[in-house]
Structure 1
Amino acid sequence: MTGKRLLVVAHCPSPNTQALRDAVVRGARSDEVEGVEVVAVAPLDAGPDDVLAAQAVILGTPENLGYMSGALKDFFDRVYYPCLERTQGMPYALYVRAGHDGTGTRRAVETITTGLRWRAVQEPLILRGAFRDDFVPRCEELGLAMAAGLEAGIF
């Protein structure tokens, strides 16, 4: 173990969002990646210690009324000040299960992560419209890419 930890903080209020979070975790725990511990925590259970112990974060949320889930917002409210000066440059990725276009959700998360001075390492994955089976492998690819990048020291 190299001591690298990837934290997945995802709100999963439905079987579909649970499948997406599971795919992210499955991808991150791929046999192709070694030396990265993957920890998945629900937003209401995650706190500053979880963030401070991680070297990268994947955030997942459904689009709720054009915004992130209240659970993810609560997570940010609780970790913002304890992590502000200690996690600058934290690499992160975002996926959004958007029933509409996901624009407001993306903007809201990016506003907070900009304030934290976290660094997006890829474009947000916005899964728009009715749930489709191809959302799952896309989330798996996201998890794999984040874990592989962490393992390789790219971020």
Structure 2
Amino acid sequence: MEQLQVEITALEAEIATLLQERTDLGKDIMLPTDDAPPPILVVAYRRLARENPELFAELKGIDDAIAALENQLTKKQLQLQRLIPQARRAYQEQQLEEARQQAQIHADRINEIAAQLAIEIRALKACADELSPLYWQVYYKPFITGFKTISVPYIRSDGDVWTIVNRIV
């Protein structure tokens, strides 16, 4: 895509150079004003072409070159317009892949922390199971409740879709 943009810029510069050259060549030509009657304009242009055949041949060559370059420019611009959506899609896919890799790092870390949390909760439950009878005797209420509904997040993926589930500890 960058190569096409460079080629387009080069074509535009070449066209601008040719247009300037054509303008410079035509400075010495004295033509009737544009509001002159058409027959007078036709006669004036024909007379100038006969008197300056080399100049008019060079002007014609420059005009032909400009037309050819403008044709190439149009084709290159169309190619570039076709490539822009493809390049945009490739860029978006690259961004998605980078974000997906970041998400995978976070998901792995969450799963790791969840596993550690599950171990800590089980250790706490073991302490609570050990302390609860004595706690009941002293304070007439349970030490810790709610162990049946404690869950930790876990992220899993089937390849395309990621799901966060709660695992009961």
* Superposition TM-score, scaled by structure 2 size: 0.18
Higher helix share: 2
| Bigger RCO (CA 8 Å, 6+ sep) | 1
* Larger Rg belongs to: 2
Give the strand-richer structure, 1 or 2: 1
TM-score (norm 1): 0.19
